[in-house]
Amino acid sequence: MQRGSDGATATPRREFATVLVLALGFGLVGIDRFLITTLFPVISKEFSLNYSDIGVISGALSIAWGLAALFAGNISDRIGRRPVLVAAMLLFSMLIGASGLATGLMTLVAVRIVMGVADGSYTPASIAATLHVSPYRRRGRNLGLQQMTSTLFGLGFAPLLVTALLHVISWRWIFTLFVVPGFVLAYLAWVLIPPRDSAPRATDAAAGRRTLKGDFYAAIGNRNIRLLMGLMLVWLTCLVSISAFLPNYLLDYLHIGFDQMGAVMSAIGFGSAAGTILLPWLSDRIGRRPVAMIAVAGALAAIFLLSRCGPQVAPLFACTFVAMGCVMAGITLTVGPICEESVPLGLGATASGMVIAVGELFGGGIAPILVGRIAQRFGIEHMLWLPMAALVVGLLVAFAVQETRGPNYAKPKSVC
């Protein structure tokens, strides 16, 4: 038996099984979110969508995701992770199939908004549940494994699958392939996740005095949390803008083939998986802050080089691989170890939800709308301006973050 990071007792087998199920669940969340990006060029033709419309569709999901994460994180701190996780899994499994029933822009936006609520509810609860079952020395590694599946599945395997399936079936049927796996994972999560883990129990003595407003104030009172909100805005600006508009950039500006576009898009998933495993694992050894700074600098350099690439698949793939590996590793550190280690026990999901909310509402919600307007007015070739500008600011924010790994950081002990 071993003790998890918050004092919970777990066997290595249960630790592995829990992280695996939560990782597969987050993989479905990634498919929910990103499957449509590879299909945008096809859907745009059927529904007569322009670049601004694509930005609205992407932004609507992000805004709903952020609002759901803000409140679902606090709910899971109070009632436990299992009910939030299972309900979210059931909802997003049904909604991914509903995407194929859309008849136009407004119905597609409506489905994406409800889907964002389900996906956003899952995210902070799954992060807290992963950290709960993980020994301290494996927190970065385990969270990296859990988080990497979102883009590995949604932007790694999915583009390759989509470009192959579109030759034989309609885009509408592709969404329905992922409904049943979601129901299976919901059942496994119900079996593996305890009904009420030790993080909420640690604050039961103060439960009568806790309020939603009080929890939010307790979390945002920490300087790191305020900085992490800004850093998450930077990461989501890059992730959502690039994943939403890169297919059109490759097809409409560089004029590469559709299958080649799918290959380049898969670099987002495979690069994200590699970065999300390696950099959080490295943070377990050299610290969270230096790795966060490495991630920002690496993403900025790679996106700049991406903007200088011509229509050659290999350099496009390489630059995208590195850029999104750094971005997703930064997201994992920001909403995971740094966030949870900065606040008192029992507020981990609340703080993570607040950080996710700011990133999704502004970086994920507003940024793609701005990029869509830029692309519509100045041309799709300028879509990388905003992500690069955001990363310059991100360098300063990452430098200001206080280290949370090791004895030099005094973590608050309890919620009052």
pLDDT, residue 9, reads 52
**pLDDT at residue 204 in the model:** 42
What is the pLDDT at residue 14? 83
Check residue 318 and give its pLDDT: 95
Domains of the chain: 10-400 (1.20.1250.20)
What is the reported pLDDT for 10?
Answer: 62
Residue 2's SS3 state is: strand
Contacts of 270 (CB under 8 A, 6+ apart): 152, 156, 321
The answer to whether 336 and 146 have CB atoms below 8 angstroms apart is: no
Enumerate the β-bridge partners of residue 10. 2
Render each residue's pLDDT in the chain as its tens digit; 416 residues: 444 444 445 678 888 899 999 999 988 888 877 777 777 777 777 788 787 787 788 778 878 888 888 888 888 888 888 999 999 999 888 877 777 777 778 888 888 888 888 888 898 888 888 888 888 778 788 888 888 888 788 877 877 777 787 777 777 777 777 788 889 999 999 988 887 654 444 444 444 566 777 788 888 888 999 999 999 999 988 988 888 788 889 988 999 988 898 888 888 888 988 998 899 889 888 889 999 999 999 999 999 999 999 899 999 999 999 999 999 899 989 988 898 888 887 788 888 888 988 887 887 777 888 888 888 888 888 889 889 999 999 999 999 999 887 544 444 444 44
DSSP string, 74-139: HHHHHH-HHHHHHHHHHHHHHHHHHGGG--SHHHHHHHHHHHHHHHHHHHHHHHHHHHHHS-GGGH
Q: What is the pTM of this model?
A: 0.75
Tokens of residue 154, six digits: 């949604």
**Among candidate residues 37, 35, 32, 33, the one with its CA nearest the CA of residue 246:** 37
Query: Cα separation of 63 and 146, whole Å?
Result: 23
- State the pLDDT at residue 391: 95
DSSP 269: H
Output the furthest CA–CA distance in the chain (Å, rounded).
62
Q: Please provide residue 228's backbone torsions phi and psi, each rounded to the nearest 5 degrees.
A: -65, -30
Burial 74-94, CB ≥16 within 10 A → b, else e: bbbbbebbbbbbbbbbbbbbe
What is the model's pLDDT at position 371?
83
Q: Which amino acid is at 88?
A: A
At 109, the amino acid letter reads V
Q: Give per-residue burial for 290-329: e unless 16+ CB within 10 Å, then b.
A: ebbbbbbebbbebbebbbebeeebeebbbbbbbbbbbbbb
